[in-house]
Amino acid sequence: MTLGSVPLRYKVSIDRDQCMQCMRCVDNCSYGVYRVEGDNILIDSRKCTACHRCISMCPRDAIILQERPVDYRSHPLWTAQTREDIINQARTGKILLAGMGNALEYPIIFDRLVLDACQVTNPSIDPLREPMELRTYIGKKPARLEFRKNDQGDVELATELAPNLKLETPIMIGHMSYGAISLNTQLSLAKAVKAMGTFMGTGEGGMHKSLHPYQDHTIVQVASGRFGVDIDYLERGAAIEIKIGQGAKPGIGGHLPGEKVCVDVSCTRMIPLGSDAISPAPHHDIYSIEDLAQLVRSLKEATEWKKPVFVKIAAVHNVAAIAAGIARSSADAVVIDGFRGGTGAAPKVFRDNVGIPIEAAIAAVDQKLNDQGIRNEVSIIASGGIRNSADLAKSIALGADAVYIGTAALIALGCRVCGNCYRGLCPWGIATQRQDLVERIDPDIGAKNVANLIHAWTLELSELMGAAGLNSIESLRGNRDRLRGYMLDEGLMKVLNVKPVGA
Amino acid sequence: MEKIIIDAKGMHYTPLNRQIRQAVAAGIKEIEIKNVLGQRFIANGLRGDVKITIYGIPGGDLCMFMNGPECTVYGDCEHAPGNTMDGGMIIVHGSAGDAVAHSMRGGKVYIRDNIGYRGGIHMKEYESKKPILVIGGSCHAFLGEYMAGGLILVLGIGLQSPINDRGIGSGIHGGEIIIRGNVDDRLLGIGSRKVEFNENDLRRISPLIEDFCSKFNIDPNPLMDTNYTHIVPSSSRPFADKYTWE
Ligand code: SF4
Ligand code: SF4
């Protein structure tokens, strides 16, 4: 028996009175929604992904898009999506893959935390008048400093300092690999981080040579597939990150389908054209925390102890204990990726159900490291669903040193979170390798947009800090007294170590 | 000065590697390291044209990320010699632990005796770079798992059946595994399959067998027939059929 088709996800229509037949929608849609027949533009709504490319290009605001134009019988449990997933799996018998981050309606903890401001008793600071210290160092800090007097009688630092990354603002761009995103996207991000004095992750899969001029602002990644990893690559990065897990799909590997492995991607990843790039679930040379320490030290040894090494894990139930193990492995920073982290593709059951929110993970890790007296051994980088400067400020107040943004940076380049990255047809030129689409991004303009975003958040962060009477990021870091929980339950407030509003 | 000798007795791996790097930078072509006992990461990330001879037992990740040098070990090796190695050669007069040649992308690793689990796991090739792992004796489970390119050859010298452990080539999607004698079907991992090993294949690998044997003073002649099992991927896209899109 046939199951027939499911209702349209989106319905596109054109206000024909407004339309001037410029055909921009036809040219811009890479999913094939529009077709010209004679004088008429025909619409195939079933192909629409709500990427909004046509809408953003239409000079007449003539395009109308409606989500779920056909109602199901409403039911709180059997939502349209649940029903459609079942139909899909009844048809195929396969694992469901989905794009972008967690799409279930879990409460957002960030939105239930409020920040503090000064009134009367201690004055707030005007960032226009007073310098705001946002410079952030990522890496090990010495537990104590020792000094010696030199021949001239001057005091010198005797303690040997571990290499640190110097960030002008605590916002970095997380790892999105070439292959998953286009070269022009990576170039835009690279130019932006260089201009803003911060860093970006290259993702797993090597570094394209066009990125070499920006290598001092990159963090290179070593993931379980070891794609594109050689000594040359390791030496180029300002820091090296070992990717153990990812918030969107904790516990499982990755898989770049052969269709996305074009000539340039093949060369950067160092794999044959069109072959699948499979990253196994674990690193097969890491089966224990001791093995992790071995890889950390191996990377340091290979680069002569000149570079900080980060370890990225997905935020899972035992994140605090795992981070404490990482802190003892010679790693310089732990990156925690919350369950809202974005991705090009992940099994839906993982994306929506595995892992914990970043807010709780930051607090638990910061607390554990402090309790064990090893907070100075590693910096904490938080990622996975950081949407604005408020999330940034709250992350730092919960204990993070800096954040990685991913989706937010892509939105600054046009992404509308349509979640169809896996199809390789991104009309914004982001998640695609098709040359005509990639060329839709001008890296200079893209860089400006991304730099604007980072600049704007940095300004807002200074304002928030100033209002709270703080003039340095260190005073905000882990300062949970400047947070209050609003409508959070007692158990969670205990984990976050924050008081309720009014207390 | 063309050759130096380093006494590694009681030495930590960082100063040891520093000495090696300095020697290579100074143009030294031969380095002999004596009294090696568990030092990890020897020749890690090393480049250049140099021959290194190790007496003793090096620790884990020997020659990891290495590109170019030739390293001979008189002794056994620990975990993962040749890990993510890029080019050059490792010759081990003894046995080695788990994950030998893990993710190796170029060069050769010869192990005279046996290796542990996950040998040659996720080896991969690209254009002219084709990693080769040759094992004189036997190995444990998951040989060539996730293999994406290159060649693994198991000679099983002096053994009735070279491998008695399962998961050979599970998830393999590139490259080939050649094992002396017959391999039971039940030992093959998901995604791998046997194909015929013929005279052409023998002609192709005989220089490799000869080279391997010459390093260890082994007579290659008894190995020169078609009594091998040839294991290849059943698909270059092993997981393509597992998923459907939302
Ligand atoms: S882009 Fe707008 S105005 Fe142009 S053809 Fe399409 S609907 Fe009409
Ligand atoms: S990057 Fe992905 S989610 Fe964003 S517009 Fe492109 S295809 Fe859609």
Structure tokens at A452: 């604007």
Q: A385 burial class (0-12, 13-18, 19+ CB within 10 angstroms)? A: buried
Q: A276 CA distance to ligand 1 centroid (A)? A: 39
The pLDDT-based confidence of A259 (bands split at 50, 70, 90) is low
Q: Are both A209 and A308 inside the same structural domain? A: yes
Q: A447 CA distance to ligand 1 centroid (A)? A: 28
Q: What is the mean pLDDT of residues B207-223?
A: 97
Best mutation site among A55, A423, A428, A440 for ligand 2 pocket (most ligand atoms within 8 Å of CB): A428
Best mutation site among A15, A23, A25 for ligand 1 pocket (most ligand atoms within 8 Å of CB): A25
Domain-terminating residue out of A65, A94, A123:
A94
Kindly tell me if the per-residue pLDDT of B140 is higher than 90. Answer: yes
CA distance A270 to A266: 6
Using a 6 Å cutoff on CB, does residue A53 contact ligand 1?
A: no
Q: Report the CATH number of the B95-243 domain.
A: 2.160.20.60
Q: What is the pLDDT of residues A53-100, one digit of tens each?
A: 999 999 999 999 999 999 999 999 999 999 999 999 999 999 998 888
Residue A53 lies in a domain: yes
Q: What is the pLDDT of residues B112-135, one digit of tens each?
A: 999 999 999 999 998 889 999 999
The pLDDT-based confidence of A121 (bands split at 50, 70, 90) is confident
A131 or A258, higher pLDDT: A131
pLDDT of residue A345: 82
pLDDT of residue A62: 97
Q: Are both A387 and A290 inside the same structural domain? A: yes
**B34 to chain A, closest Cα gap in Å:** 20
pLDDT of residue B151: 97
Q: Are both A87 and A178 inside the same structural domain? A: no
Domain that holds residue A198: 167-500
B residues 168-187 closer than 8 Å to A (CB): 171, 173-174
Residue B239 has its nearest CB partner, among A266, A278, A297, at A278
Using a 6 Å cutoff on CB, does residue A33 contact ligand 1?
A: no
Residue A285 has its nearest CB partner, among B21, B47, B80, at B80
pLDDT of residue A1: 59
A12 or A423, higher pLDDT: A12
Q: Are both A62 and A181 inside the same structural domain? A: no
- Return the CATH number at A53: 3.30.70.20
Whether A301 sits inside 8 A of B41 (CB atoms) is yes
Structure tokens at B6: 């380093």
The pLDDT-based confidence of A20 (bands split at 50, 70, 90) is very high
Interface confidence, given as ipTM, is: 0.92
Which ligand minimizes its atom distance to the CA of A410? 2
Which ligand minimizes its atom distance to the CA of A40? 1
Kindly tell me if the per-residue pLDDT of A415 is higher than 70. Answer: yes
Yes or no: say if A444 and A121 are a contact pair by the CB < 8 Å rule: no
Which range, A254-268, A309-323, B224-238, is most confident?
A309-323
Q: A16 CA distance to ligand 1 centroid (A)? A: 9
pLDDT of residue A281: 81
Whether residue A263 lies within 8 A of chain B, CB to CB, comes out as no
pLDDT of residue A255: 67
| Residue nearest (by alpha carbon) to ligand 1 atom 4 | A22
In the block, which residue shows the tokens 């000064």?
Answer: A118
Q: A325 CA distance to ligand 2 centroid (A)? A: 36
- Return the CATH number at A194: 3.20.20.70
Do the strands A309-314 and A333-337 form a parallel or antiparallel pair, or are they unpaired? parallel
pLDDT of residue B1: 62
Q: What is the pLDDT of residues A365-383, one digit of tens each?
A: 999 999 999 999 999 999 9
Residue B13's region, left for phi above 0, alpha for psi from -120 to 50, else beta, is: alpha
Concatenate the DSSP letters of all residues of A256-300 into one string. E-GGG--HHHHHHHTS-TT--EEE-SS-TT-SSHHHHHHHHHHHH
Using a 6 Å cutoff on CB, does residue A416 contact ligand 2?
A: yes
Using a 6 Å cutoff on CB, does residue A98 contact ligand 2?
A: no
Specify the length of chain A in residues.
Answer: 503
Q: How many domains does chain A have?
A: 2
A65 or B235, higher pLDDT: A65
pLDDT of residue A206: 87
> Can you give A419-469 as a three-state secondary structure string?
CCHHHCECCCCCCECCHHHHCCCCHHHHHHHHHHHHHHHHHHHHHHHHHCC
Residue B244 has its nearest CB partner, among A92, A295, A303, at A92
Whether A298 sits inside 8 A of B61 (CB atoms) is yes
Domain extent listing, chain B: 95-243
Percent of chain A with pLDDT over 90: 81
pLDDT of residue A382: 98
Residue A270 has its nearest CB partner, among B118, B126, B240, at B126
Kindly tell me if the per-residue pLDDT of A265 is higher than 80. Answer: no
Kindly tell me if the per-residue pLDDT of A317 is higher than 80. Answer: yes
**Residue numbers in B near A303 (CB within 8 A):** 45
pLDDT of residue A287: 87
Kindly tell me if the per-residue pLDDT of A103 is higher than 70. Answer: yes
Using a 6 Å cutoff on CB, does residue A417 contact ligand 2?
A: yes
Using a 6 Å cutoff on CB, does residue A65 contact ligand 1?
A: no
| Residue nearest (by alpha carbon) to ligand 2 atom 2 | A421
| Residue nearest (by alpha carbon) to ligand 2 atom 6 | A426
Kindly tell me if the per-residue pLDDT of A257 is higher than 70. Answer: no
The pLDDT-based confidence of A260 (bands split at 50, 70, 90) is low
Kindly tell me if the per-residue pLDDT of B96 is higher than 90. Answer: yes
Kindly tell me if the per-residue pLDDT of A216 is higher than 70. Answer: yes
Percent of chain B with pLDDT over 90: 88
pLDDT of residue A271: 73
Kindly tell me if the per-residue pLDDT of A264 is higher than 90. Answer: no
Residue A131 lies in a domain: no
Q: Which residue, among B126, B234, B242, would best test binding to A if mutated, counting the most A CBs under 10 Å from its CB?
A: B126
Which ligand minimizes its atom distance to the CA of A43? 1
pLDDT of residue A411: 98
Q: Are both A232 and A339 inside the same structural domain? A: yes
Using a 6 Å cutoff on CB, does residue A430 contact ligand 2?
A: yes
pLDDT of residue A256: 66
> Can you give chain B as a three-state secondary structure string?
CCEEEEECCCCCHHHHHHHHHHHHHCCCCEEEEEEEECCCCCCCCCECCCEEEEEEECCCCCCCCCEEEEEEEECCCCCCCCCCCCEEEEEECCCCCCCCCCCCCCCEEEECCCCCCCCCCCCECECCECCEEEECCCCCCCCCCCCEEEEEEECCCCCCCCCCCCCECCCCCEEEEEEECCCCHHHECCCEEEECCCHHHHHHHHHHHHHHHHHHCCCCHHHCCCCEEEEEECCCCCCCCCEEEC
pLDDT of residue A385: 92
Residue A47 lies in a domain: yes
Q: A17 CA distance to ligand 1 centroid (A)? A: 11
Using a 6 Å cutoff on CB, does residue A336 contact ligand 2?
A: no
Domain-terminating residue out of A94, A126, A148:
A94
pLDDT of residue A40: 93
Q: A61 CA distance to ligand 1 centroid (A)? A: 8
Using a 6 Å cutoff on CB, does residue A461 contact ligand 2?
A: no
Residue A314 lies in a domain: yes
Q: What is the mean pLDDT of residues A195-215?
A: 94
Q: Which residue in chain B is spatially nearest to A92 when comparing CA positions?
A: B244
Do the strands B3-7 and B30-37 form a parallel or antiparallel pair, or are they unpaired? parallel
Residue A143 lies in a domain: no
